[in-house]
């Protein structure tokens, strides 16, 4: 399965629109029980994780059969102004588009497509975003490997 963003640099201004496309391949319709797509932020670091979902869509088995898996699906959402992506000493705040596949066998497969939320009016038009964005220690987006995370027994 794959998720791709509308901006190549993966940097979005707060309050602007995010467009992404997703697709599931190499999984048959019979094996799927549900798909969840969410746009969310979560924290990493020493503290317990905070997670907040900004956009959420769940496709049940019936809906997946109706739309099929062959075509690319898209999602559009208006991003909030805050919290901005942040890379600190104890806390890292990351934004991502997360896709979670629920298989009939009880397994779950998760993939994240990270992106950066930066302050409004900090991206100059026609230029790709530089590393001088908000945060103490800004890091370029890293794509998590498209690996299956078994979280159900």
Partner 1 sequence: MARFPRPWSKKRGKRFIGTELRSLLWETAFYSGVFLVGVFVLSLVLINELASWEHLEAFKELTQIQTDAVTPPELNGGGLASWVFGILGIAAIGSGAGGLIYRLVRVGASSERRSALATRASSIEIIVPASGDIDKMPSVPRGDSLTDSPGERLTYRLAAENPGGGELLGPMLLALLWNAVWFVLLAVVVLGFWYGSPRYILTGLLIPFGAIGYWSFRFFLAQLRRTAGIGPTIVEISDHPLYPGCKYRLFVSQSGRLRFRRLNVRVACEEETVYRQGTDVRVERYEVFTEELCAARDVRVDPQGPWEQQFTLDLPSNVMHSFVGAHNAVRWKVIVSGEARPWPSFCRSFPVVVHPPGLPPKRSPR
Q: Is 78 in the site for partner 1 (CB under 8 A)?
A: no
- Cα 20 from Cα 26, distance rounded (Å): 20
Alpha-carbon span 10 to 7, nearest angstrom: 5
Could you tell me the two tokens for 1?
A: 């399965």
Residue from the set 25, 89, 124, 125 that interacts with partner 1 by CB under 8 A: 89
Task: Decide: is 83 part of the binding site for partner 1 (CB under 8 A).
Answer: yes
Encoded one letter per residue, x for contact with partner 1 by CB under 8 A and - for no contact, window 117-136 reads --xxxx---------xxxxx
Q: What radius of gyration, in Å, describes the C-alpha atoms of the chain?
A: 16
Q: 28 exposed, middle or buried (CB, 10 Å; 0-12, 13-18, 19+)?
A: exposed
Stretch that binds partner 1, among 2-10, 23-31, 66-74, 89-97 (CB under 8 A): 89-97
Which residues form the interface with partner 1 (CB under 8 A)?
13-14, 36, 38, 40, 43, 45-53, 56, 58, 80-84, 86, 88-91, 93, 98, 100, 108, 119-122, 132-136, 151, 153
């Amino acid at each position: 399965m794959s998720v791709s963003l509308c901006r190549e640099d993966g940097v979005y201004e707060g309050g602007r629109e995010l467009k992404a496309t997703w697709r599931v391949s190499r999984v048959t319709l019979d094996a799927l029980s549900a798909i969840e797509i969410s746009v969310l932020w979560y924290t990493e670091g020493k503290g317990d994780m905070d997670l907040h979902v900004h956009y959420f869509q769940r496709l049940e088995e019936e809906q997946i059969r109706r739309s099929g898996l062959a075509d690319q699906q898209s999602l559009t959402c208006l991003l909030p102004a805050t919290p901005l992506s942040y890379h600190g000493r104890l806390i890292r705040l990351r934004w991502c588009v997360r896709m979670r596949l629920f298989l009939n066998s009880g397994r779950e497969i998760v993939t994240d497509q990270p992106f950066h939320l930066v302050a409004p009016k900090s991206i100059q038009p026609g230029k790709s975003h530089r590393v001088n964005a908000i945060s103490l220690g800004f890091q370029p987006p890293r794509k998590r490997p498209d690996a299956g995370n078994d979280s159900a027994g």
